[in-house]
């Protein structure tokens, strides 16, 4: 693999371990973040901290962004365009709307650059271990160029043309959001009906109801550990994006609408709590019922 310079934009909860893995894999990584101290901290793992966005992206063959939301990504692309070399491949790993990803693709193409939307699933743990699911939308040749680098972060798959990665991520988050709420209901029902919720979870883990969410977040709920991981505000953003995509496709998603309302009920008070806080939304609808007796661990 020939030497490639990667500009990594967004050193947050997910971006920090992802940029770290790329630097530790021996790649030249320029780290940029609006709060420079976060980028500066990656100097310890071999990345090059950059305070200036133009300096970070100038001459880079790959630009990887993972930011809070589509409008932030769009603003960053606009600001970076004058410094991008022709042919630069921008890989946005943020979770955005499909129409936003298509707009990013069009804007970059108009300036002679290329684009993949490649959102991820797997949370901070997956980012740290290099086991993210990476859902990419774009041209096959661009994906083929990016795949060896994305492979340091997880398992990349091309799921269709530009915008398709975000569709796949929305499908993922639809299932995640609904399953988190169903796991919360199952555990609270077990306790309310007189069974041991710890034992119930153990009993069903190996059956058809078994899932990664029951495994990881079921335990989080039992421990009442709501330190993020995925955050309520991020899950709610994804819920709204799912409903926007469904509206655009002329599709009604009644379960997703219910899940969205659950997250809306706690978003103002607990925006940074783990999305397993779906349990807290459920308990508020059932006054006097509470899963277990451990104290809540909240950010």
Which residues participate in catalysis according to the annotation? 169
Distances (CA, A) of 153 to 17, 123, 223: 9, 12, 29
Buried b (16+ CB within 10 A) or exposed e, 142-162: bbebbeebbeebbebebbeeb
Angle at 189 between CA 170 and CA 210, to 5 degrees: 50
DSSP for 42-69, please give it.
Answer: GGGGT-EEES-HHHHHTT-SEEEE--SS
Give me the residue label for tokens 């710890």. 198
Give the integer Cα–Cα distance in Å for 250 and 278. Answer: 28
Contacts of 275 (CB under 8 A, 6+ apart): 176, 177, 180, 217, 228, 229, 230, 231, 232, 234, 235, 263
Helices 164-192 and 254-267 cross at an angle (nearest 10°) of 70
Look up residue 251 and give its two tokens: 């599709």
CB hemisphere CA count around 148 (13 angstroms): 11
In angstroms, how far is the first alpha carbon of the chain from the final one? 42
Buried b (16+ CB within 10 A) or exposed e, 173-198: bbebbbbbbbbbebbbebbeeeeebe
CB 229 within 8 A of CB 275: yes
């Amino acid at each position: 693999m020939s030497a490639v310079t990667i500009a990594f934009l967004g050193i947050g909860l997910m971006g920090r371990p992802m940029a770290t893995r790329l630097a530790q894999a021996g790649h030249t990584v320029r780290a940029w973040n609006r709060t420079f101290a976060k980028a500066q901290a990656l100097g310890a793992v071999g990345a090059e901290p950059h305070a200036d966005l133009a300096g970070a992206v100038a001459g880079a063959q790959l630009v990887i962004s993972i930011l809070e939301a589509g409008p932030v990504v769009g603003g960053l692309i606009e600001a970076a365009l004058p410094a991008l070399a022709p042919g630069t491949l921008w890989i946005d790993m943020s979770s955005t709307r499909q129409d936003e990803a298509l707009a990013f693709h069009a804007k970059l193409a108009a300036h002679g650059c290329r684009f993949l939307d490649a959102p991820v699933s797997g949370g901070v743990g997956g980012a740290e271990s290099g086991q993210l699911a990476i859902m990419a939308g774009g041209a096959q040749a661009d994906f083929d160029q990016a795949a060896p680098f994305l492979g340091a972060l997880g398992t990349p798959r091309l799921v269709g043309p530009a915008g398709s990665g975000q569709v796949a991520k929305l499908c993922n988050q639809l299932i995640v959001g609904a399953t988190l709420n169903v796991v919360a209901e199952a555990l609270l029902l077990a306790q309310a009906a007189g069974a041991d919720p710890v034992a119930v979870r153990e009993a069903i883990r190996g059956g058809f109801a078994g899932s990664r969410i029951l495994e990881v977040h079921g335990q989080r709920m039992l421990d009442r550990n709501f330190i993020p991981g995925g955050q309520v505000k991020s899950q709610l953003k994804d819920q709204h994006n799912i409903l926007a995509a469904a509206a655009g496709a002329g599709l009604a998603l009644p379960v997703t609408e219910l899940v969205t309302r659950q997250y809306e009920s706690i978003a103002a008070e607990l925006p940074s709590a783990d999305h397993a806080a779906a349990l807290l939304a459920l308990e508020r609808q059932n006054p006097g019922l509470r899963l277990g007796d451990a104290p809540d661990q909240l950010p």
